[in-house]
Every structure is written in C-alpha cells, then in structure tokens.
C-alpha cells in the first residue's frame, strides 16, 4: 500500500458524515498529504513548510472547506446514500493535493477538480521509465481523464 493509499483509506473512514469532525478531518488530510508528498519528492519529511508551500496548502484547504460548508448546509435535504457518496469525494480530492505537491511540474493531476469527474475518479499518477503516466483505474473514468491518460507520458520535473 502506498503512503497515498493509506492516507486515502484513513480519510475515507474519517469523513462519512458532515459535522465538525469531518471538517477537521478534511483539513488534516490535505495537510498530511502535502507533507507526505514533499517527503516522497525530496526523501525527507519536512519539519515545516516554506511560505509559498504554506500558501499553497492553505488555498487547497480553503477551497475544500468552502465546498464542504455548502455540502453541510444541504446535507439535511439529501438521502443518506447521496450524503455518503458526496462525503467520499472529499477523500478523492486529497489526491489532488498529494499529486500537486509530489509532481509540481504537472499542470493537472487526478483529483484536483480540473476534470469533469472532479474528484470522483480513481485515477493515479505512475512513474515509469519514460516519464509520468496518468493511469486510469477501475471505477469511473470520464473523457477528461481518458484524454489525460492518452496524453502521457508527462515530464517528471
């Protein structure tokens, strides 16, 4: 299991229903993903973040919490299944933060919200000899994800 898979599993379990705990878990997960990505990229767990990195992380968390607050406000009118499915999208979005910090040269990464499936796909980035590949995994893959997969390999830098 990769460090990202472990983080996603932990996040999924922690964010099943809206509430202060879920809100906190979203912020914690993005922060953990950011640190883990830097560790994977540099080989060292950072003791702290640079000003630019802090800004970057803060923006990612703020964007998610904004979506979360809108979701929490609507949740009472949604079915239990819809709430659970929507909650899991917040785990998927952690991938965007992780991959963005892991591969800062990529303009687009799975889970960053730039594809029409938003964070609902199961796509990942895999490192191969010829560069980085956007990998489609079992689960939903929208046309945008398929185009990103077909467009690889991408530069590692």
Taking the least distance from each CB to Zn ion, the nearer of 31 and 108 is 108
Closest distance to Zn ion from the beta carbon of 45 (Å): 31
Closest distance to Zn ion from the beta carbon of 117 (Å): 3
By the rule CB under 5 A, 11 interacts with Zn ion? no
Closest distance to Zn ion from the beta carbon of 118 (Å): 8
Closest distance to Zn ion from the beta carbon of 141 (Å): 5
Taking the least distance from each CB to Zn ion, the nearer of 22 and 145 is 145
* Contact map string, positions 92 to 131, toward Zn ion, x by CB under 5 A: -----------------------x-x---x----------
Tokens representing 9 are 């599993």
Q: What is the 3-state secondary structure (H, E, C) of the chain?
A: CCHHHHHHHHHHHHCCCCCHHHHHHHHHHHHHHHHHHHHHHHCCCCCCCCHHHHHHHHHHHHHHHHHHHHHHHHHHHCCHHHHHHHHHHHHHHHHHHHHHHHCCCCCCCCCCCCCCCCCCCCCEEEEECCEEEEECCCCCCCHHHHHHHHHCCECCC
Which residue in 142, 149, 152, 153 binds Zn ion (CB under 5 A)?
142
Interacting residues with Zn ion (CB under 5 A): 115, 117, 121, 142, 145
């Amino acid at each position: 299991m990769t460090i990202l898979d472990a983080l996603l599993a932990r996040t999924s379990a922690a964010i099943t229903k809206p509430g202060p705990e879920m809100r906190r878990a979203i912020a914690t997960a993005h922060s953990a993903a950011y640190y883990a990505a830097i560790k994977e990229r540099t080989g060292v767990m950072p003791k702290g973040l640079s000003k630019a990195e802090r800004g970057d992380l803060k923006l990612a968390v703020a964007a998610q919490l904004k979506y979360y607050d809108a979701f929490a406000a609507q949740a009472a009118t949604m079915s239990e299944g819809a709430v659970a499915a929507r909650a899991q999208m917040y785990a998927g979005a952690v991938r965007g933060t992780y991959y963005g910090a892991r591969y800062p040269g990529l303009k687009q990464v799975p889970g960053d919200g730039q594809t029409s499936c938003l964070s609902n796909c199961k796509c990942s980035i895999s490192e191969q000899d010829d560069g980085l590949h956007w990998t489609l995994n079992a689960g939903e893959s929208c046309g945008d994800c398929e185009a990103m997969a077909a467009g690889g390999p991408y530069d590692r830098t």
